[in-house]
Amino acid sequence: MIDPMPFATYSFVMSITPGPNNVMLTASGATFGFRKTIPHILGVLSGFSVVLFLVCAGLDAVFTRWPEIQAVLRWVGAAYLVYLGWRILRSGEAKDVESRKPLTALEAAGFQFLNPKAWMMTLTAAAMFLPRELGLMAASSYMVGVMAATNLPCITVWALFGSSMRGFLAKPRGRLTFNIVLSLALVVTGIAMVV
């Protein structure tokens, strides 16, 4: 019998700690509110699940054979994080929100293919926890199920945290501080993923 606890614990630690998705979900919750951030949450969950399934199904073999593909994805993802940090920094006051829209589920799902932390998490998970004795499809599905069940509450907490800060962010100084902190978090994460 397979014990899901080690993988669930790994999934929890990796999902609850700061990273590009959690920073972006916090910013979306703070800017647009929790309800309008739900498609973003679902996009992260679905896109990450697809990446994990592909890695478990053998994409890690492609990266082993052609490591430059993973390096390119890492640099593109890091550049995108710096760009997002710049956008958050320039986003201005909360009243500017009317002209902007939160990420759609499709945009958030697509970002998972550029997200360096998502690739690191999935490659490590497949290497350490994939129960190959189940067969390829069942093992990959098992991994996605455990990760999704663990990941969804974790990323939801970050969106709720951002949403709870809306009162603080209504003040220009609060918004500026928040934007600077989130921008720096994204830029540092992007840099850390490529150095």
Rounded to two decimals, the pTM is 0.78
Dihedral sign from CA coordinates of 82, 190, 46, 60: positive
Please list the alpha-helical segments (H only) found in 55-135: 60-65, 67-89, 105-111, 116-129
pLDDT tens for 18-76 read 888 998 999 899 989 999 999 999 999 999 999 999 999 886 677 678 778 767 877 87
Nearest of 64, 21, 11, 30 to residue 167 by alpha carbon: 30
* Rounded alpha-carbon distances, angstroms, from residue 108 to 22, 97, 123, 157, 188: 12, 19, 20, 17, 20
Nearest of 24, 32, 42, 6 to residue 117 by alpha carbon: 24
- Please give the average per-residue pLDDT across 154-177, as a whole number: 87
pLDDT tens for 122-140 read 988 888 888 888 888 999 9
